[in-house]
Structure 1
Amino acid sequence: MSGRHSHSGGTPMSGERRGREADIPGSLVDEFASRLRGQLIRPGDPGYEPARELWNGMIDRRPALVARCDGDEDVAAAVSFARDNELSLAVRGGGHGVAGHALCDGGLVIDLSQMTGVDVDPEGRTARAQGGCTLGDLDRETQRHGLATPLGVVSATGIAGLTLSGGIGWLRRKHGLSCDNLVSARVVTADGNLLAASESENEDLFWAIRGGGGNFGVVTSFEYRLHPVGPEVFFCNVYYPVDRAREVLQSCERYVSGVPDQVGPIGILGRIPDAEEFPPESHGEPYVALLVLFPGAPAEGERALRPLRDITEPICDLSGARTYTETQTVLDDDYPDGWRYYWKSVNAPALSDELIERLAAHAAAAPSPDSTVDVWYQGGAMAHVGEEETAFANRSAPYLLGIEANWEAEADSAENVTWVRNAFADMRSFSAGGMYLNFPGFLEEGEQLLREGYGRNYERLSAVKAKYDPANLFRLNANIEPKS
């Protein structure tokens, strides 16, 4: 997250196995296409190249087929076709996942991008959204009623990948994670059946999809609990000189410990972009920023967040009242489509002087001026849920450190990837383990990190996986092997 507001060779993922290239008779493919209400896209079709483009330009894969689905029946048919013909299977929701699991080589992509319907029940304070929705799609509809569910912080992110691996955002300390606010879901499992999952139906599946990722099927719709938020909120967006990083981050730590679970700050270390809202003399200078959304009345938020804006003399203060939907887009310009992204994350138990010094040093050493090191202040509502109540693990970790390499040119890829790996290895020395599986980068480190990501819920997840996907059809993800 650089704080701006205004395709190359892919890397194989952990858990990915090359599916055989599709050599299915054309008559079978034609028959499959005829059963879809949506569109089946093949290499050479006019829409094929756009259909294989993802947000992360590092990902360059060529699927044999892309099923652009129009409803649950299309998804079920596509799952069955991939299974019966032994094709690799990828699932694309918003296409915004850093690790690029939404594409595969030589297999079938289930593309949900046309499934963006949202149905809001303002009286019951729930919303059902189809699996292709982005955060922006859902926020736009819920805000018509002054309601919101906790989502992420970039509006182009898909709700599916976000929710299935947890979902941390501005409301995490006030209302919990995205998955904590899931009331029910509809899931197409590996046998092609459409199942309802909730606290009263297929409870084991419902437990697993709240943090276990896309391991258990294709979620075609999500029903969320909504909360009164907006339409106007106050957003703290203040930038300080990086030589005050310890004072700023530890002052924020004290602030969070002394207030109710109302706000979830993010501390960001990076370099001031060449953007008009920043003083020209500050462009390129290192900074430490605090970004915080106050979900109540703007006037109350301005008073409540004032201590975070007065820690020391800022480089600039872009704080102010704005609509909730505008706040959800504040970081959008930091992540252009087609740029290259390589991220990792690690939990941390404390913000020690040494840790902060090293965070600042790594941020200053980033090859790209658009890269950042981020500190997510956790706890609050997300920590009030028991470690085993949902599949999401490591809830008690007070801090999440995100290491984000964001750059444009393919020629710069090697040095940016190396920077992330080196910073990650260093941050691991401050951690008792664990990460956020929506910020995994590429899990080259293998099963140890995967098990840390799922925590002590891994074995139970493996058993649920064996029940719903014993052949591991859904393996292009942070993959859980079915318990044998």
Structure 2
Amino acid sequence: MCQFCGVDPEFASFFDKEGGNTSVVNGNTNLGDQTAPNYFRLKPDHPRYTKLTTPQLTTFASKLSPSSNVLLASHQGDGFQKASQRWSKQAIKTPMAIVQVASPEDVAKTITLATSHQVPFVVKCGGHSPSGASSVENGLVIDLGLMRQVSVKPEEQLVIADGGCLYGDVCKTTSEYGLACVGGTTSHVGIGGLSLAGGYGYLTGEYGLAVDNIVGAQVVTADGEILWVNEQKHSDLFWAIRGAGNRIAVVTKFIIKAHPMSSQVWGGMIQYSGTQVASVIEALNTWYQQKDVKAAAGVALGKMSDGKAGLTLFPFYNGSQENAEVSFAPLLRLPHLSQELSTMPYWKINTLGDQPGAFSGAYIEFDSANIAPSLETNHIKSMLDLLDDFAVNVDVDGDCNAGAYILLVQPDGIMKQGHSDMAFPWRDDHFDVGVSTAWQKQEQAPKMKTWLHNQFQPLANAQGDKERLYCNHSDFNGPATKEFGVNVGKVQELKTKWDPKDVFRSLL
């Protein structure tokens, strides 16, 4: 009997076996040579044993912790609708139920329920996967959004963060202790998806990727077991989650290394016309060759206020304004369309990219590219030219957009780790590039995706490693050989060991 809803999973699985010699004749069940549970009066395809009904899910809800919630599709209330929303409209799906868990035990129970009844499930933290890795049709969503506690141990420079935390939760809490953790460049992404698949950010040049700063974790495995993992305890699972986390287990707590951070950093935004591409790229290369690990810059390629493609620079400096202006002098000397620069707390600089702009309420698609330094003017210009011709090439009406984001950080922090020190393999000096499209009408999806994957991504990737994918930008669409590189064999072995029935996201 299922401990949560009263259904016998063995009986359910009996009728789901492939190749079983079972038939129904005149209302009687013929079992052939098989030994069956003693419930012959029910039909083999009875939906009660292949799906979960509203009464079963209601009973299950009573088994969870008091602050948890189970939102049912059959009720379709405001709570269910709100919890179904995602950053990208194409990620919105209709699950059977959304389980808003409040403890690791709730997660374990939900996994057990789903696997017992052969119901698909996914885990949702920040909900930023554009194509919907945290959404599922007619299955269960394990929503970690109620689990957002952050605790800081300042003497040990460690942070314990629940698996449902957003990066902004960690930033704001650590800032009170003069500390910071490596994360992304926006505050509203979930730390789970960001960190477990890599995590490039402004502090990466100094302190490595977000995944490099995970020193331990609490996980729930495919069989519902709750474990603490680190370099000493279940070290193989710890190796695997750092790069392949959502394929192997659910992380319900992170132990993260924090770093001393001054009360103020420097940064903001500078916009340049696309006609300045040669001088901007020359200045960026000059700046980068200073090899200052405290300096980083995001470069966004996209439509400007004049309707033409241009470059928006997001400079960052972990230090004083005086030192920052010396570092970025090659770029500050250039004419610009607009400029907003100042000192601010580190947590605030990670909110500057939070406004979705053209992505607000849009369908969004991502892809992954990379560029080997130094930047080449002709390459960047060709990307700007393609963006200028975007509307003509795609041939769709309405408010559509496309762009690229190149993050320039020094490789020092990234290359402190070896290719096989953890599942995440990419340890080189290449700049990470995320490319994207956004559109407003669902029927525009085929043309938008085709243009992104067949035209813009290959062009963006022309100066990079074509055998490399960054999961957070490729949106976990594989193939695994390009996501895990030299580590793909070991990742597969550990997937087989810790998730033999492939209940988590498959390796593609």
TM-score of the two chains, using structure 1 as the length reference: 0.87
Distance in 2, Cα, partners of 1:393 & 1:132: 25
**What amino acid is the match of 2:459?**
D
**Cα distance, 1:141 vs. partner?**
0.6
List aligned pairs for 1:138-149, cutoff 5 A.
138-149=170-181
Say whether residues 1:364 and 2:388 are aligned partners.
yes
List aligned pairs for 1:41-440, cutoff 5 A.
41-45=71-75, 46=77, 47-273=79-305, 283-310=306-333, 312-334=334-356, 338-350=361-373, 351-367=375-391, 370-378=401-409, 379-410=411-442, 412-421=444-453, 422-433=455-466, 434-440=468-474
Say whether residues 1:458 and 2:481 are aligned partners.
no
Distance in 1, Cα, partners of 2:476 & 2:498: 25
**Cα distance, 1:412 vs. partner?**
4.3
**What amino acid is the match of 1:358?**
S
Distance in 2, Cα, partners of 1:371 & 1:213: 29
Alpha carbons 1:71, 1:115 under 8 Å: kept: yes
**Cα distance, 1:429 vs. partner?**
4.1
Q: Sort the Cα spacing of 1:369 and 1:64 in 2 relative to 1 into closer, same or farther, 3 A.
A: closer
Name the stretch that deviates more: 128-137 or 400-409.
400-409
Q: Deviations over 1:195-248 (max 9, x none)?
A: 111111111111111111311111001111111224321005212221222331
**Cα distance, 1:64 vs. partner?**
0.9
Say whether residues 1:34 and 2:56 are aligned partners.
no
* 5+ residue gaps, structure 1: 1-19, 274-282
Distance in 2, Cα, partners of 1:135 & 1:226: 13
Distance in 2, Cα, partners of 1:301 & 1:353: 25
Distance in 2, Cα, partners of 1:269 & 1:60: 27
**Cα distance, 1:333 vs. partner?**
0.9
**Cα distance, 1:411 vs. partner?**
5.2
Distance in 1, Cα, partners of 2:440 & 2:156: 45
Distance in 1, Cα, partners of 2:191 & 2:493: 26
**Cα distance, 1:316 vs. partner?**
1.8
Alpha carbons 2:159, 2:256 under 8 Å: kept: yes
SS of residue matched to 2:279? helix
Q: Sort the Cα spacing of 1:416 and 1:441 in 2 relative to 1 into closer, same or farther, 3 A.
A: farther
**What amino acid is the match of 1:329?**
T
- Which residue of structure 2 lines up, in the alignment, with residue 276 of structure 1? none
Q: Deviations over 1:450-480 (max 9, x none)?
A: 31121111111111111110111002xxx32
Aligned length: 445
Distance in 1, Cα, partners of 2:171 & 2:58: 38
Alpha carbons 1:40, 1:66 under 8 Å: kept: yes
Alpha carbons 1:249, 1:267 under 8 Å: kept: no
Distance in 2, Cα, partners of 1:228 & 1:305: 23
Alpha carbons 2:129, 2:475 under 8 Å: kept: no
Distance in 2, Cα, partners of 1:344 & 1:305: 29
**What amino acid is the match of 2:144?**
L
**Cα distance, 1:79 vs. partner?**
0.9
Distance in 1, Cα, partners of 2:120 & 2:234: 26
**What amino acid is the match of 1:304?**
S
Q: Sort the Cα spacing of 1:418 and 1:250 in 2 relative to 1 into closer, same or farther, 3 A.
A: farther
Alpha carbons 1:211, 1:391 under 8 Å: kept: yes
Alpha carbons 2:325, 2:332 under 8 Å: kept: no
Alpha carbons 1:400, 1:435 under 8 Å: kept: no
RMSD: 2.1
Name the stretch that deviates more: 62-71 or 405-414.
405-414
**What amino acid is the match of 2:370?**
N
* 5+ residue gaps, structure 2: 1-46, 392-398
- Which residue of structure 1 lines up, in the alignment, with residue 507 of structure 2? 480
Alpha carbons 1:234, 1:302 under 8 Å: kept: no
**Cα distance, 1:27 vs. partner?**
4.9
Distance in 2, Cα, partners of 1:24 & 1:420: 39
SS of residue matched to 1:393? coil
Alpha carbons 2:51, 2:117 under 8 Å: kept: no
Q: Deviations over 1:157-182 (max 9, x none)?
A: 11110011011111111211111111
**Cα distance, 1:370 vs. partner?**
4.6
Alpha carbons 1:284, 1:369 under 8 Å: kept: no
Distance in 2, Cα, partners of 1:125 & 1:298: 26
Distance in 2, Cα, partners of 1:246 & 1:463: 48
**What amino acid is the match of 1:50?**
K
Q: Deviations over 1:50-94 (max 9, x none)?
A: 222111111231111211101111011111111111110110011
Distance in 1, Cα, partners of 2:367 & 2:345: 31
**What amino acid is the match of 1:288?**
L
**Cα distance, 1:298 vs. partner?**
3.4
The structure with higher relative contact order (CA 8 Å, sep 6+) is: 1
SS of residue matched to 2:485? helix
Q: Sort the Cα spacing of 1:26 and 1:359 in 2 relative to 1 into closer, same or farther, 3 A.
A: closer
**Cα distance, 1:362 vs. partner?**
2.4
SS of residue matched to 1:287? strand
